[in-house]
Amino acid sequence: MKTPAAQFKVQATALTQDLRHRQLIQTALGKYEVVRDRTKAAFQDWPAARQAAAEIKWEAVNHLDAHLVQLVRNLEARGTKVHWASTAQQARDIILGIIREKKARSIVKSKAMTSEEIHLNEALEEAGFEVVESDLGEFIVQLRKEPPYHIVFPAMHLSRGDISELFTRELGSAPTQNPEELTMIARRVLRQKYITADVGFTGANFAIAETGMISITENEGNARLTAALPKVMITLLGIEKILPRLEDLALFLPMLATIGTGQPLTCYNSMYGGPRQPREPDGPEEFHVVLLDNRRTELLADPEQRDALHCIRCGGCLNVCPIFKNVGGHTYHTTYSGPIGSVITPHLRGLQDWKHLSFASSLCGACTETCPVKINLHHHLLHNRRNASKQKPSFFERTAFTVFSGIINRPRLYQCAKILGRFFQRFHGLVKGTRLDPAYAWTQSRELPPIAPQTFKEYWRSRNAGPGSPS
């Protein structure tokens, strides 16, 4: 089996040459920055809002222990059952345990990247349960037996024609390229599932420690139905989703919508504080919250990269990343793709196996610039590169840097290397980009800049030797 790095390389090479794929992504993200910036302009002071958001998340993450205790206390006070899962396996076992105890058969889900992270659908299906994704994009990729392509737009890599073909094949509907008709086809299938499902499963955008509430934001209303109709509701959330106060949502909800989709606010914003209370007309009879660690505390223990836990999963860094726009979401083979995925996956799944993602970057900094909570993404990619080579130095890297430092620290040797380099670069064209090229790793896909015709020292000497120069 190919290593993740080899798999990434092969797929990235193929997809960067796939013009149809590039066209689809360009179409999907073409107007993103214009719409986002227009919505951003409605903020009185966007840089101040970003700073405030970064500070709130800093407070939340740096006092996570206290906020989690407060959240759990408040959730339990209203009858919610809270579970702690250290690993993906534990989270799956807890969820399966609840479903089995309730003798449930079918589960309807709203979008939850945490469930992708723990491979919940596979576990549920293996155990014989019927699972249906209710978010339209997730429903489409589930029919295609694919993981989501993007953390906010799971089916952005598909055209209307692709979706029409899929629905015709899987649901027996008539072909159509009309988006409303396609939505209605999915809706007809899904409405029935809400009514018959025994368990509703959701993720969460935020968890409010002060009030013990789960905040879910969405555009289709499917999460509301998922939470309101089945008798049992299960929410799986990463422990970093905490916000200290209810009033923090006043900043985070519009900010998430602005950077995520360019909307001032997403269409449906719901808060869940427990199972149905006496006199409440709807809601689940039982509400379970599963708090997922899955190596987040290891990231928390790293003071240099801890701020990666500030991420609110808006997807903004993916939308502006030149690498993501060329290689697409599936090439990463990770739950979280794009810049934030490249930063956190080595922490969540192992640095050595996933260090290649740190190199899937032009280091242009567009991700850092767009991040609403000011995560220093491109610097964290450099941190990952450094940590990976410190942990397990590669033979070629070590040799190259030993040779380089040996030359650069000896002026006479450096002079010789410079002369030889200038001489041999005349013949470089003969082998450039071939296996005979000593710089093949670079030149197979990039240009090697020529050695400068004059070094600064040479320039300075010639300047001082020129007419009128000081003696």
As measured in angstroms, the least distance from the Cβ of 152 to ligand SF4 is: 8
Binding of ligand SF4 by 150 (CB under 6 A): no
Cβ neighbours for 463, distance < 8 A, ≥ 6 positions apart: 469
Applying CB under 6 A, which of residues 28, 229, 291, 375 lies at the interface with ligand SF4? Answer: 375
Binding of ligand SF4 by 373 (CB under 6 A): yes
Residue 57 or 109 having the CB closest to ligand SF4: 57
Phi, psi of 330 (to 5 degrees): -75, -25
Applying CB under 6 A, which of residues 95, 372, 378, 380 lies at the interface with ligand SF4? Answer: 372
Q: Residue 114 has which token pair?
A: 């945490």
As measured in angstroms, the least distance from the Cβ of 99 to ligand SF4 is: 30
Contact 253, 299 (CB under 8 A): no
Residue 313 or 347 having the CB closest to ligand SF4: 313
Binding of ligand SF4 by 340 (CB under 6 A): yes
Binding of ligand SF4 by 141 (CB under 6 A): no
Report the distance separating Cα 429 and Cα 83, nearest Å. 63
Binding of ligand SF4 by 370 (CB under 6 A): yes
The DSSP string of 319-346 is: HH-HHHHHH-SGGG-SSS-HHHHHHHHH
Pairing between strand 213-218 and 206-208? Answer: antiparallel
Residue 274 or 315 having the CB closest to ligand SF4: 315
Report the distance separating Cα 421 and Cα 451, nearest Å. 7
As measured in angstroms, the least distance from the Cβ of 312 to ligand SF4 is: 5
As measured in angstroms, the least distance from the Cβ of 308 to ligand SF4 is: 7
Amino acid at 24: L
- Contact positions with ligand SF4 (CB under 6 A) in 308-337: 311-317
Angle at 39 between CA 34 and CA 43, to 5 degrees: 135
- Contact positions with ligand SF4 (CB under 6 A) in 412-451: none
- Contact positions with ligand SF4 (CB under 6 A) in 259-278: none
CA atoms within 13 A on the CB side of 4: 18
Edge to edge, the sheet with strand 242-243 lists 242-243, 206-208, 213-218, 268-272
Residue 70 or 376 having the CB closest to ligand SF4: 376
Q: Comparing C-alpha atoms, which of 299, 334, 350, 293 is closest to residue 90?
A: 293
Q: How many residues bind ligand SF4 (CB under 6 A)?
A: 14
- Contact positions with ligand SF4 (CB under 6 A) in 167-186: none
Residue 124 or 371 having the CB closest to ligand SF4: 371
Interacting residue ranges for ligand SF4, rule: CB under 6 A: 311-317, 340, 370-373, 375, 377
